């Protein structure tokens, strides 16, 4: 067996080889991941539709499931909770092309003014977003001109979505039926 003596030059060469190998083993995958992440930018979607909240008649899409906490009820109906399965359409007319359903509930949660805690899934049943859904949870004071609620997630094409929904009452009938215009802005990674 031959004798081997390490010189300062060979030690330095081994150290440099180890450092270069470490760079390619540990830093290159990280930079590749960063490069891939930079190429994959979030996509923003702007959605526009009309929500038909029908509280009266035999074709009602809303059912009251909890009565207000006081009898007679307060002016804000505190505690009243409704469950909904409302039609979503392309235009304000109920006969417009259906694009989905708003399914969830809203509860009167303010003792000063009429305002709801609204929890709803916007389920798309037609068009490019068919089979996907967005989830909106937030405060909805329906007598305000424009209300803004956060989009907290989604499914299908809207997986990991975040954004906001703006609601504007288009029509409110004497019996409480409402047509609400929605503009929804959503970012999806």
Task: Give yes or no: residues 72 and 139 share one domain.
Answer: yes
Task: Give yes or no: residues 72 and 156 share one domain.
Answer: yes
Task: Give yes or no: residues 35 and 60 share one domain.
Answer: no
Task: Give yes or no: residues 165 and 127 share one domain.
Answer: yes
Task: Give yes or no: residues 93 and 171 share one domain.
Answer: yes
Task: Give yes or no: residues 25 and 68 share one domain.
Answer: no
What's the start-to-end Cα distance of the chain, in Å? 61
Which of the pair, 39 or 107, is modelled with greater confidence?
A: 107
Q: What is the CA radius of gyration of the chain?
A: 28
How does residue 70 score in pLDDT terms, banded at 50, 70 and 90?
confident
Q: Give me the pLDDT at residue 154, please.
A: 98
pLDDT digits (tens, 9 = 90+) for 138-183: 999 999 999 999 999 999 999 999 999 999 999 999 999 999 999 9
Q: What is the mean pLDDT of the chain?
A: 87
Q: Give me the pLDDT at residue 10, please.
A: 52
Structural contact between residues 85 and 122, judged by C-beta atoms closer than 8 angstroms: no
How does residue 29 score in pLDDT terms, banded at 50, 70 and 90?
low
Task: Give yes or no: residues 104 and 141 share one domain.
Answer: yes
Q: Give me the pLDDT at residue 27, please.
A: 47
Task: Give yes or no: residues 54 and 90 share one domain.
Answer: yes
Q: What percent of the chain has pLDDT over 90?
A: 75
Domain span at residue 36 reads 1-40
Range from 25-34, 104-113, 123-132, 157-166 carrying the lowest mean pLDDT: 25-34
Find out whether the peptide bond into 66 is cis, omega within 30 degrees of 0: no
Task: Give yes or no: residues 79 and 155 share one domain.
Answer: yes
pLDDT digits (tens, 9 = 90+) for 71-114: 777 899 999 999 999 999 999 999 999 999 999 999 999 999 99
Q: Give me the pLDDT at residue 73, please.
A: 79
CATH of the domain at 115: 2.40.480.10
pTM of the model: 0.77
How far is Cα 111 from Cα 127, in angstroms, rounded to an integer? Answer: 40
| CA 13 from centroid of its chain's CA atoms | 56
Task: Give yes or no: residues 6 and 56 share one domain.
Answer: no
Task: Give yes or no: residues 170 and 97 share one domain.
Answer: yes
Task: Give yes or no: residues 127 and 170 share one domain.
Answer: yes
Q: How many domains is the chain partitioned into structurally?
A: 2
Average pLDDT, stretch 120-144? 97
């Amino acid at each position: 067996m031959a004798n081997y003596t390490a010189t300062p030059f060979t030690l330095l060469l081994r150290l440099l080889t180890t450092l270069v190998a470490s760079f390619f083993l540990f830093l290159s995958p990280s930079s590749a991941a960063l490069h891939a992440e930079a190429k994959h930018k979030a996509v923003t979607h702007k959605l526009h539709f009309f929500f038909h909240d029908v509280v009266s008649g035999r074709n009602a899409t809303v059912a009251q499931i909890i009565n207000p906490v006081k009898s007679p009820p307060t002016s804000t109906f505190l505690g009243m909770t409704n469950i909904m399965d409302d039609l979503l359409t392309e235009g304000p007319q109920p006969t417009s092309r259906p694009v989905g359903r708003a399914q969830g509930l809203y509860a009167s949660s303010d003792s000063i003014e009429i305002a709801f805690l609204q929890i709803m899934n916007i389920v798309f049943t037609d068009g490019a977003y068919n089979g996907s859904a967005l989830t909106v949870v937030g405060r909805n004071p329906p007598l305000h001109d424009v209300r803004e609620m956060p989009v907290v997630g989604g499914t299908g094409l809207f997986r990991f979505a975040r954004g906001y929904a703006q609601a504007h009452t288009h029509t409110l009938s004497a019996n409480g039926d409402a047509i609400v215009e929605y503009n929804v802005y959503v970012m999806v990674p």
